[in-house]
Structure 1
Amino acid sequence: MATPDVFPHAVPEQEAYQALTVARRSVEPALRSAVDTLPEDMRRIARYQFGWTDEHGRPSDASGGKALRPALVLLAAESVGGSADAALPAAVSVELVHNFSLLHDDLIDTDDTRRHRPTAWTVFGSDAAILAGDALLSLASGVLADSGNPAALSGVRLLNTTVQELIQGQATDLAFEQRGDVDVAECQRMAEAKTATLLATACELGALFAGAEPRRVEQLRHFGHALGLAFQHVDDLLGIWGDPDTTGKPAYSDLRARKKTLPVVFALNSDTPAGQRLTTHYHQSSGSETDPADIADLVDTAGGRTWSHAETDRLLTRALSHLDAAELTARTDELSALAHLVTRRDH
């Protein structure tokens, strides 16, 4: 398990990767123990989702994700002078909620690939994947409630509120697909609910479970929120221009589905010739004959790519300002390095 000395000093990028690696190693035993309490059918799907087994239940070394949210929990706890061990249940809970959302999102979006292998619903069926997601969500609250931490009850309330926001964000995202009048402010609010709120909660839970004073809890939450929205910009950019070998998802999947992502919505509202042409193509039915590469070029020409790059930089600066304002006692370098890493644009 993690201790106050588990994040050794290194150059910034190495610090970030070390933080993710340490978080994954620290959280996985507790995460496995929690998953083992699920009913057998749900346990089988959860183990596949986390990359521990293949579709036949045999051990696998598939990726279980970056462990970004658990890393934020543990680093936030240590940054205010607390113990990573004390915050471990919170780290497990946010990873369970994250994977609940992925199980449901993959089915809603009919995505057939995640982390370079078939999505759970394509392997086990739609109904089973929904139930497995529900099981992970229920388990997340139970892990917090059973932690024995003085902040457990507040943590459960916070997590439940976060899940409600996340669900509303997903519902809004779906509604956007049927609308042609989505503006940039609406899209940003959707991204805040769908993505930023869980990163904000990860930071807040870590600080709460470490017994931090309210001003530091608040600043760390603001840090996570700004970082989460920046992260969504990067994710949307990668969803258009990212390398499938890196992202683990098919090229142009969001464009094929006519998703109203941040750079797309900016381009649609740009009042430029490219934006007007994009509007015409985007209001055709998904799967139409328009080459998605041509649609991506229109998003770029209309300014969507440049705007999302600029927003990513602006939000990263905001996140780091909240980190400074928190006046942390430790782990500032690691949190800063992690923020830079997850907003890096490899495309």
Structure 2
Amino acid sequence: MTILILANYANGLFLFRKELLESFKKAGHKVIVSVPFDENVHKLRDMNVELVDTHLERHGMNPLKDLKLFASYMKIMKNTRPGVVLTYTIKPNIYGAMAAKFLRIPYVCNVTGLGTAIEGGGMLSKILVKMYSFSMSRAKKVFFQNERNLEFMKNKGVAAKNAALLPGSGVNLTEHPFREYPSENDGIRFLAVIRIMKDKGIEEYLEVAEAITSEYDNVSFDLVGEYEEDERAKYEPMIQALEEKGSIRYHGHLDTVEPVMANSHVIVHPSYHEGLSNVLLEAGACGRPVLASDVNGCKETFEEGVTGMGFKPGDSSALRDAIRKFLALSEDDRKEMGKKARLFIEKNYDRKIVISTYEQTLKEL
């Protein structure tokens, strides 16, 4: 069978779903991937999957451009004649699913998160919900990554009869092995791995990094992630100023975060909303306790007070209090949280669970 996969970002597909693509190929399926070509597309090419360059703007709604995207998906499907279409992220989930629906091709959608446009409410949210409802009405399955997103959309009439829950993208426990908790002799290192944008909590993280490093001599803050281009002008000067002050170390975008994570003592994730946070899954797999926003998509990935601590999103005071509470623990307590985090991820978020669910879905087709 030919499997056509529609996504908005080559690196995201590679990092979180390469094992799924490999399982399809191993089962004898032909895999075709439609993504915008960028500097990361070679990673998919090296997997020997067929690639189709598809122009897609990840943010914003321009009716003319989105109509062109829909037409592109229609053309790709007519040319490749897939047995099933798999869609990820908002625009593929809407326009790709819509094209598959019109052409009567079986399709499976994965809602990796609701996004700012829907979470924010208002007219745009209502329009997107209607588009989701129309495009996904004949999907064989619509996967959600947390219970709240699933119930929210079902209550809005989206995927009322074909919704199912996945443990996010899962985590590859071999590529992300348990790492011994590092010595705290040289201080306690906090790390955030986030896209640099308001909704990921960058403002709170920067504010708290400055405050805590002024208060404690033995604490440092690291930051990994790429700028969201339309917010770079706001946050780049702030980060540079804090680097010069010594409050933070910015590592930029890293293809492999694991070495930096293994060298850290705790992972901070101050995001306002998530589908299911891959960063927190990888942190737990690494054996690191987490401090994360108390929102769906984050709080499922840790046990409160056992493997991590939650705090109110968008509230720098709440984040600062969580950090102080974490620092008040003994080194042995922090180390034990990390060990329990690994066990929790092994039990609930092995990526093999996701692969098995997709394989079963394809069998049902």
TM-score by length of 1: 0.34
Question: Which protein has the bigger strand share?
Answer: 2
Q: Which has the larger radius of gyration?
A: 2
Give the number of the structure with larger relative contact order, counting CA–CA contacts within 8 Å between residues 6 or more apart. 1
TM-score by length of 2: 0.32
